[in-house]
Every structure is written in C-alpha cells, then in structure tokens.
C-alpha cells in the first residue's frame, strides 16, 4: 500500500494491485470535485409497480453524473470514489435535497400517491447531523414524510449502535419509511430483521435472476418472502427483467417489483409519464 496526499490535508491509501492508484482515477476525483460545484449530478427515476393493483407505487431515485464531455456516468463508478474520498457527504446531501424537491414539485403537479426512495450511504447516515438535515428538508419542502423511503444497506445495519438506532426510530416516528436495500448480499443476519425498525425489504437481484428456471432458487425466494411477510414488511423485488420472473413473484405474493421488465431508470420528464400509464 502507498499513501498519497490528496487535496490539502487528506491522506488516502490505495492498493496498487487493485489498479485504483492511477492517473485516470486522480483525474476523475478532481473532475468530481468540480462536478459537485457545478451541479453535474442529477437524479434518474426507476418506477416500482404494486403487483396487487398493477399500478405505480413510486420510484427509486438513482444518481447520475452528467459529465460535460463523457456523457452520463453511472454510480457504479463514482459512488465508490465518493465514499473513499468523503465526497459522498456533499453528494448525498445534494441527492437528498433533490429527492425532497422532486416530491414537492410533483405534488404541485397533482401527483400525490407515490413514494420516492433515496439511497443513503453509511457515511452519510452516521454523520452527526443526518437526522436534523432530514428534518430541515421536511420543514423546507413541507411534504408528507411517508412519501420518502430511505434505503439503507446491511453494512449500515451492522454498525448500528443504540444511539444510531435511535436515529432510525426517530425518522420512523416522524413518518419516514425505512427500507433495507440489497437484502441477502451483505453479512445478513436475521437478527437485523427482527431488531430493526424497518418498513420494507428490497430483495437483491441475485435472488431473482434464476427464479423462473431454478426450482431451488424459487424455494429460497419463497422463504425470504414468507419471512418478510411474517415480520409485516413490504417486499420489493429488484432487477425483475422477464415475464417469467414477474409471474413467480406474483404467485409468491411479493408486494412491489422494480426492474428493466417494466422500465430502466429514466430522467424526470419520462418518469412523469408513468403517472398516466396503466400496466
Ligand atoms: P441499488 O441501490 O441496488 O440500485 C439498483 C441498481 O440496479 C441500479 O443501478 C439500477 O439501474 C439497476 N437495475 C434496476 N433494474 C435492473 C434490472 O432489471 N436488471 C439489472 N441488471 N439492473 C437493474 P445504478 O443506477 O447503476 O446504481 C448502482 C448503485 O449505485 C445502486 O445500487 C446504489 O447502491 C448506488 N447509488 C445510486 N444512486 C445513489 C445515490 O444517490 N446515493 C447512494 N449512496 N448510492 C447510490
Ligand atoms: Ca437502492
Ligand atoms: Ca438494491
Ligand atoms: Ca445493488
């Protein structure tokens, strides 16, 4: 490992074997700092469908970097860099504010019955001001808290202490919804499901992928859905791509689906079209 001075007084360690210690990478970091200043980050929206009614349940907001030369850059590239450098804090704050502003704007256009999910990174959640930042946004945008669903990951759940657990409890008491993202991919423990103040479980795509062809995968999914239901959680299946997967999920009583089968993440003007569309 080598240490490299980054910016003024911030040291970051890189593993050269992973090829992340590169000129390209440093360039990207500098461009990201500029992108934050120049508001090059924006939200895309991927619809979620309520399987019982076939109607639009809401959207997940997904960050995109609209780079002036390179075009749309996906979060798989910039979120890890943002997390390592700490830029996730200003980026996360921008994303959260944009999400509240979007809900407020859509409500002004008469669109009311929908939820907007926002991805929250660990560093963002564990920041001292997280709870008060959310409350400030609520006061500023005056939207019903139940229209915002905060997606946290299992790695956040793992680091939970009594005081950060209290943040979750407060958020829920205020009416915000809490969703456990990528369920099954991390160091999942059934303990979290039982102890955590959660509203919703998002089953990772890897558990959905083969359910239309593999009986054992289908069995595994059935028990995850059953478990979530007995804990009275809303179950969302991620990465639904085929009609076969959809029909298995419908049979199992999954509550909502999200995936390319219905739509990829789209920019706002396209997202708005889903309000008038029926499945
Ligand atoms: P995620 O939260 O698990 O989001 C779902 C990802 O799966 C999205 O990738 C989405 O485009 C993709 N996806 C949706 N449906 C399908 C499908 O049917 N098939 C396949 N193969 N993929 C599907 P995306 O937008 O590239 O985001 C990647 C990850 O970046 C997200 O995974 C999330 O962890 C992170 N991310 C995105 N936006 C934000 C953000 O605003 N804040 C934070 N902290 N993380 C974000
Ligand atoms: Ca997510
Ligand atoms: Ca996910
Ligand atoms: Ca994921």
Model pTM score: 0.92
Which among 246, 268, 262 has a CA at the least distance from the CA of 57? 262
CA distance 10 to 151: 29
pLDDT at position 5, please? 44
Ligand lying nearest the CA atom of residue 266:
1
Residue with structure tokens 């499901």?
193
Question: Directed axis angle between helix 75-85 and helix 23-37, to 10°?
Answer: 90
Pocket test for ligand 1, best of 61, 77, 79 (most atoms within 8 A of CB): 79
Q: pLDDT tens-digit profile of 178-189?
A: 999 999 887 767
CA distance 133 to 232: 29
pLDDT at position 207, please? 96
- Cα–Cα distance list, 224 to 182, 233, 249 (Å): 13, 11, 12
Judge if the beta carbon of residue 149 lies within 6 A of ligand 1.
no
Q: What is the position in ligand 1's atom list of the atom closest to the CA of 75?
A: 30
pLDDT at position 17, please? 55
- Least confident interval from 57-61, 163-167, 226-230: 163-167
User: If you take atom 25 of ligand 1, which residue's CA is the nearest one?
Assistant: 62
Q: What is the position in ligand 1's atom list of the atom closest to the CA of 92?
A: 42
Judge if the beta carbon of residue 206 lies within 6 A of ligand 1.
no
Pocket test for ligand 1, best of 42, 44, 75 (most atoms within 8 A of CB): 75
Q: Does ipTM top 0.85?
A: yes
Tokens of 268: 């706002």
Distance 3 CA to ligand 3 centre (A): 32
pLDDT at position 159 over 80: yes
Residue with structure tokens 């700092």?
33
Query: Which 3 state secondary structure label does DSSP give 180?
Result: strand
Query: Which 3 state secondary structure label does DSSP give 89?
Result: helix
Q: What is the position in ligand 1's atom list of the atom closest to the CA of 120?
A: 44
Inter-residue contact 57 to 256 (CB < 8 Å) = yes
Distance 193 CA to ligand 2 centre (A): 17
Q: pLDDT tens-digit profile of 231-275?
A: 999 999 999 999 999 999 999 999 999 999 999 999 999 999 999
Pocket test for ligand 1, best of 62, 151, 179 (most atoms within 8 A of CB): 62
> Going by C-beta distance under 8 Å and a sequence separation of 6 or more, which residues neighbour residue 246?
240, 257, 261
> Residues 27, 29, 34, 36: what is their CA dihedral angle, to the nearest 10 degrees?
150
> Residues 178, 161, 90, 141: what is their CA dihedral angle, to the nearest 10 degrees?
40
pLDDT at position 66 over 90: yes
Distance 9 CA to ligand 2 centre (A): 32
pLDDT at position 277 over 90: no
Residue with structure tokens 């593999």?
214
pLDDT at position 41 over 50: yes
Inter-residue contact 258 to 238 (CB < 8 Å) = yes
Tokens of 36: 């934050």
CA distance 69 to 73: 10
Judge if the beta carbon of residue 62 lies within 6 A of ligand 1.
yes
- What is Dmax (Cα atoms) for the chain? 56
Give the helix ranges, DSSP H, for 1-87. 23-37, 75-85
pLDDT at position 252, please? 96
The residue ranges of DSSP E strands in 153-216, in sequence order, are: 177-183, 200-203
pLDDT at position 14 over 60: no
278 band by pLDDT with thresholds 50, 70 and 90: low
- Nearby residues for ligand 3 (ion, Cβ within 5 Å): 181-182, 238
């Amino acid at each position: 490992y080598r240490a490299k001075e980054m910016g003024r007084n911030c040291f970051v360690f890189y593993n050269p074997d992973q090829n992340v210690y590169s000129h390209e990478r440093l360039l990207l970091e500098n461009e990201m700092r500029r992108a934050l200043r120049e508001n090059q980050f924006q939200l895309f929206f991927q619809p979620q469908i309520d399987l019982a009614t076939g109607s639009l349940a809401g959207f997940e907001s997904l960050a995109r970097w609209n780079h002036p030369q390179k075009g749309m850059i996906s979060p798989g590239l910039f979120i890890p860099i943002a997390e390592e450098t700490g830029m996730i804090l200003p980026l996360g704050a921008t994303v959260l504010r944009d999400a509240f502003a979007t809900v407020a704007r859509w409500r002004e256009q008469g669109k009311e019955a929908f939820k907007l999910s926002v991805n929250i990174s660990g560093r963002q959640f564990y920041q001292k001001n997280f709870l008060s930042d959310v409350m400030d946004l609520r006061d500023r945008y005056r939207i019903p808290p139940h229209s915002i669903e905060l997606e946290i990951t299992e790695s956040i759940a793992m680091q939970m202490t009594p005081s950060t657990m209290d943040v979750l409890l407060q958020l829920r008491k205020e009416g915000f919804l809490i969703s456990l993202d990528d369920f099954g991919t991390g160091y999942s423990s059934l303990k979290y499901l039982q102890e955590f103040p959660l509203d919703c479980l998002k089953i990772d795509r890897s558990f959905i992928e083969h359910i239309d062809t593999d009986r054992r995968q289908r069995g595994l999914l059935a028990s995850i859905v059953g478990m979530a239901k007995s804990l009275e959680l809303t179950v969302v299946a991620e990465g639904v791509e085929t009609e076969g997967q959809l029909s298995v999920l419908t049979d199992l009583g999954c509550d909502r689906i999200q995936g390319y089968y219905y739509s990829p993440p789209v920019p706002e003007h396209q997202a708005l079209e889903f309000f008038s569309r029926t499945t």
